[in-house]
Structure 1
Amino acid sequence: MSKKQQAIIYIICSAFFFALMNMFVRMSGDLPSIQKSFFRNLVAFFFALIILLRSKEGFSFQKKNLPAFIGRSFFGTLGILCNFYAVDHLVLSDASILNKLSPFFAILFSYFILKEKLTLVQGSAVAAAFCGAILVVKPGFAGANVLIPSLVGVTGGMCAGLAYTLVRVLGQRGERGPFIVLFFSAFSCLITLPYLIFDFHPMTAGQFFTLLLAGLSAAGGQFTITAAYTRAPAREVSVFDYTQIVFAAGLGFLFFGQLPDILSVIGYCIISGVAIWMFLYNLRKDHHLQQ
């Protein structure tokens, strides 16, 4: 498979893993978002650490890329905190949808930071997927108890989009995916550790186990989405990240009894249809280039 096709498969896998993560975060109950974020990144840190310890390159990286590493980690951490807050205060699928505005923002940031051009077909696909997301979220927000978490969720999507753009920057400069994950996870744990020390909320065994599952899911999502954005530009693969909406809706129904309305179903169909259409379009385009 080409790098683009690999990236598509990786990003769909990451969408499923992140939907699982949000489900486990919701299941962990009434714990602070910062505490949930710490355990989510702690598991990913040890996964990346083991991989790097077994690699020949070890922990080497280019010092000139340190600002990009810090930027990716800062905005990634902020995106996680915003997403977890939205997950705790909104319907699971709605919170996931707001976070999945990140591909839209990733394309915008890639245009300004990486100067990556956007074709009409790619732009139309992202716009269609974005419209599908709007059908699902139905932005007729009423009351501060819904408006504030929704705005926080949008902010989280924007921060995630910028973080993934910086992942692309690091990938283009030859940085390895496991080290990108390790740096981000360590940075996030260090940032949230002081809060954990001074305001730790006791957890039951069930909550602790659920957060570990959230961390395992997050590790899977982090590795696969890093692999995706280091293999292909955001404009070519980010539309497939919207499949998390479908995964989130399914998990929300199975575990929380949340049944989407007709507008949501139409939105899911639009998003899935666009993803399939883009995949076939990329296959056909690659075939023509090889001839």
Structure 2
Amino acid sequence: MNNQLPNFYSETSRKTLGWLAVFGSAFFFYLATLIIRWAEPYVTIESAYFVFARLFLGFIIVCITMAFQNKRLHPRKYHYLIGRTLANTVAVFCFYKAVELGSVAEANILNMTYPLFVAIFSWFFLRGQRDLLSLLIVAIAFCGVWLVLSPGKITPDLGNLWGLCSGITAAIAIIYLNISRRYHDSQTILFFMFGLGTTLMLIFFHDSIFIPNTKEFFFLFSCSVAGVLGQYLITYGFLFVTAVEGSIISSSRILLAAILGPILVAGPSLTISGWCGALLIFAANTGLALRKV
């Protein structure tokens, strides 16, 4: 009996650490968007530059990590690596663009619709994962998406459309990631995601990228650190929690954004319909996670 106590406490502490890491990742992903909004009164930096800075910092960290661990790249299926990179880069760009043009809270909520689109894409492209109940959950969740977008309006806000686009492309990135993991280790995937993503942003948005002054560098670096730290925390956290626990905790970013957005960035509070939509999306993400058990 006494021999089992240390193992129990050890397992409990690892799980607690995993929960904290995944929740921390949700917070830092949200913090990155707050920094973009906080920067607006002081500097003029386009969202493309924030994306470039985040990818570039991630690439430097991956290269340093691989050098210290003496690891080599082992690419096998290049089309999966490229697909993951393209989808992830577009998703982050759309997400940051949604923050630039709209509400921080709504941008985060709509970005977290990606599990819904994963379920939809899986229905069409992964026949072995078709699930009628999951599709019903998604249908209910899209009522929540409509409530967040623009209930009662003829056309939704442009920022919200960018946010929804980020959810769609993030779902594609997740599917590519799941497939790519069958053939590649994490470092190889991250190397291509950050390295190729940085190159693409430099090619297509070079006009938005410049040598920053001290104040501009501060906001770019802070946002990048928050984004990359969120990426590493979620990777670390999932080592100690189940996929279901991790998915539910990650979705807490919906509630963080809804509660803290108006307080931290003086943005507009969610309407009653917006709150109902956010809770529907959160409940749907939780339901889809539980369906995986």
Report the TM-score when normalising by structure 1: 0.76
CA separation of 1:139 and 1:239: change in aligned 2, threshold 3 A: farther
Q: State the match for 1:189 in structure 2.
A: 198
> Per the alignment, in what secondary structure is the counterpart of residue 120 of structure 2?
helix
Q: State the match for 1:107 in structure 2.
A: 119
Structure 2 counterpart of 1:148, one-letter code: L
Q: State the match for 1:289 in structure 2.
A: none
CA separation of 1:273 and 1:53: change in aligned 2, threshold 3 A: same
Distance across 2 between alignment mates of 1:275 and 1:197: 37
Q: State the match for 1:156 in structure 2.
A: 166
Q: State the match for 1:171 in structure 2.
A: 181
Spell out the pairing of 1:42-121 with structure 2 (5 A cutoff).
Answer: 42-56=56-70, 58-63=71-76, 65-119=77-131
Alpha-carbon deviation of 1:192? Answer: 1.6
Tell me if structure 1 keeps the 8 A contact 2:51–2:92.
Answer: yes
Tell me if structure 2 keeps the 8 A contact 1:118–1:235.
Answer: no
**Number of residue pairs matched by the alignment:** 274
Which runs of no fewer than 5 residues in structure 2 stay unpaired? 1-10
CA separation of 1:34 and 1:273: change in aligned 2, threshold 3 A: closer
Spell out the pairing of 1:121-140 with structure 2 (5 A cutoff).
Answer: 122-140=134-152
Alpha-carbon deviation of 1:92? Answer: 0.7
CA separation of 1:277 and 1:189: change in aligned 2, threshold 3 A: closer
Distance across 2 between alignment mates of 1:186 and 1:19: 23
CA separation of 1:181 and 1:149: change in aligned 2, threshold 3 A: same
Distance across 1 between alignment mates of 2:160 and 2:51: 19
RMSD: 3.7
* Equivalent residue for 2:274, pick from 255, 260, 264: 264
Structure 1 counterpart of 2:231, one-letter code: Q
Distance across 1 between alignment mates of 2:226 and 2:57: 9
> Per the alignment, in what secondary structure is the counterpart of residue 129 of structure 2?
coil
Distance across 2 between alignment mates of 1:277 and 1:157: 18
Tell me if structure 2 keeps the 8 A contact 1:43–1:215.
Answer: yes
Q: State the match for 1:38 in structure 2.
A: 52
> Per the alignment, in what secondary structure is the counterpart of residue 181 of structure 2?
helix
Distance across 2 between alignment mates of 1:232 and 1:70: 29
CA separation of 1:70 and 1:276: change in aligned 2, threshold 3 A: closer
Which runs of no fewer than 5 residues in structure 1 stay unpaired? 286-291
1:19 aligns with 2:19: no
Distance across 1 between alignment mates of 2:278 and 2:108: 13
CA separation of 1:38 and 1:221: change in aligned 2, threshold 3 A: same
Q: State the match for 1:222 in structure 2.
A: 231
Tell me if structure 1 keeps the 8 A contact 2:94–2:165.
Answer: yes
CA separation of 1:13 and 1:133: change in aligned 2, threshold 3 A: farther
CA separation of 1:126 and 1:53: change in aligned 2, threshold 3 A: farther
Distance across 1 between alignment mates of 2:118 and 2:236: 15
Structure 1 counterpart of 2:164, one-letter code: V
Q: State the match for 1:253 in structure 2.
A: 262
Distance across 2 between alignment mates of 1:274 and 1:198: 40
Alpha-carbon deviation of 1:100? Answer: 1.9
Structure 2 counterpart of 1:17, one-letter code: F
Q: State the match for 2:222 in structure 1.
A: 213
CA separation of 1:153 and 1:184: change in aligned 2, threshold 3 A: same
Distance across 1 between alignment mates of 2:109 and 2:49: 23
Structure 2 counterpart of 1:266, one-letter code: C
> Per the alignment, in what secondary structure is the counterpart of residue 37 of structure 2?
helix
Tell me which structure has the larger Cα radius of gyration.
2
